[in-house]
Amino acid sequence: MITDTIKRFVGQLFNPKKQGVQHIGREKHGIDRRNVSRHAIKVCEVLQHEGYQAYIVGGAVRDLIVGLEPKDFDVATNATPEQVRALFRRARIIGRRFQLVHVVFGQEIIETSTFRAPASETQSTDDHGRILRDNEFGTHEQDAVRRDFTINALYYDPTSEQVIDYHQGVDDLKKRVVRMIGDPATRYREDPVRMLRAVRFAVKLNGTIDPASKEPLLSMAGLIENVPSSRLFDEMLKLLTCGHAMDCLQQLRQDGLHHGMLPLLDVVLEQPGGEEFIELALDRTDHRVRSGKTVSPSFLFAALLWQEVDLQWKKLIKQGETGIPGLMQAADAVLEKQTKTLAIQKRFSSDMREIWFMQPRFDKRLPKSIWRMLEQPRFRAAVDFLQLRAAAGQFDSVLAQWWMDLANADDDTRATMLDDLSKLPREGSGTGPRPRTRKRRTGPPRVPVDHGNAPTI
């Protein structure tokens, strides 16, 4: 018996992953409660007051420990979705695969989930092992086992200001190691999106993926194709707006995970100037994210797919298709091919088209058409896109700056700029001032002629 006790002690000493739960104080985890969402704290306090367990969990805790500003805050509790909803005036249950509660505080939503039990044979899965429906509730410890990576299985109690750590995630976080909880191959089959998340977390933390967690990635990359296109779009958007988008894409290609996400990406990057254009787009996106500014998904995907749209458009022009109709055909073809895998929402694809279709209109500066362009809701986004094209050498930089100055100007300044433009030689038509436009009739309005049943105006 003594020998067995010594063996267990030595095993725990040299294999910390088998140690029990740790309650880590503020002096070690370093989270400042003032940086935690007051609404997330409120949700925890209300649930705890009613006798439930409640903790801030996951990515928010991870980011707070490493000094990053969380994008959102999630709460985990042993209360059921119905019990959570009953405690808050503005709360709704969502989700099919597993139910969650969205507790709404103005513009902020605190996503609240019930502790979940480990995967079992009774759970619904597809032929590849991906879990389709998962509403089996469990204990706090079981919920920690269900989390994907050790760095995400961290629970922060805003009342005691302790971090509860079942899998030594704080140690992994300080070492910048992304480690899967459980058997990596099994966990990737349960949810192939975890492979993409592993890459994103490693790049975002400037860390590495644990060798055992990285080894199955290449052989299991094909499972990405079984993920619903809408969920894949959400994960792709997170990856592109994490502040390290280009590094993530390069790592995905290196690990063989890019297939099934952006099928046209490899084609684009292999085109002359294609990689430069995407690097410019993603670099500007990263700078906006790091400075706390918002990023438009429409603009981002318009930039990623523009090279292929432009290539298809030029081919159609050589075949005799006219300008704008050819661009429309090219856009439709590229989006149709892309959305089979990535469910780009209609509102985004509609905005992307508007941004693309406005590009040829920047070639000629005609005052009348410019006033109409200024009324378009996506005019500013289209001008920003034009700056990107100019930076990549696809458009005259001086002319692009004129459009940017116009977009930034007030109405009076715009009127002056367009009046000055009307005095210049017509672009592309030789020298000499622009012909004066005929003034509108200033006399009394004409009396409409009565044509029987025809309505008068």
Catalytic positions are 72, 74, 148
Task: List beta partners, residue 125.
Answer: 131
Dihedral in degrees, nearest 10, Cα atoms 317, 323, 329, 334: 80
- Residue 326 burial (CB < 10 Å; 0-12/13-18/19+)? buried
Residue 292's CB is within 10 A of a number of other CB atoms, namely 7
Question: DSSP per residue over 143-178, as a string?
Answer: HHHHSSBGGG-EEEETTTTEEEESS-HHHHHHHTEE
Compute the Cα dihedral for 78, 83, 87, 88 and give only its sign.
positive
Residue 180, amino acid: M
Q: Count the Cβ atoms, other than its own, within 10 Å of residue 135.
A: 15
* CA-only gyration radius of the chain, Å: 28
Contact 74, 57 (CB under 8 A): yes
* Angle separating helix axes 245-255 and 193-204, nearest 10 degrees: 130
305, 236 in Cβ contact below 8 A? Answer: no
Contact partners, residue 16, CB within 8 Å, separation at least 6: 168, 171
User: Quick one: tokens of 247?
Assistant: 């590094």
Transcribe 256-267 into DSSP letters.
T--TTT-TTHHH
Rounded Cα distance between 36 and 60, Å, is: 9
Burial pattern 99-114, b for ≥16 Cβ within 10 A else e, equals: bbbbbeeeeebbbbbb
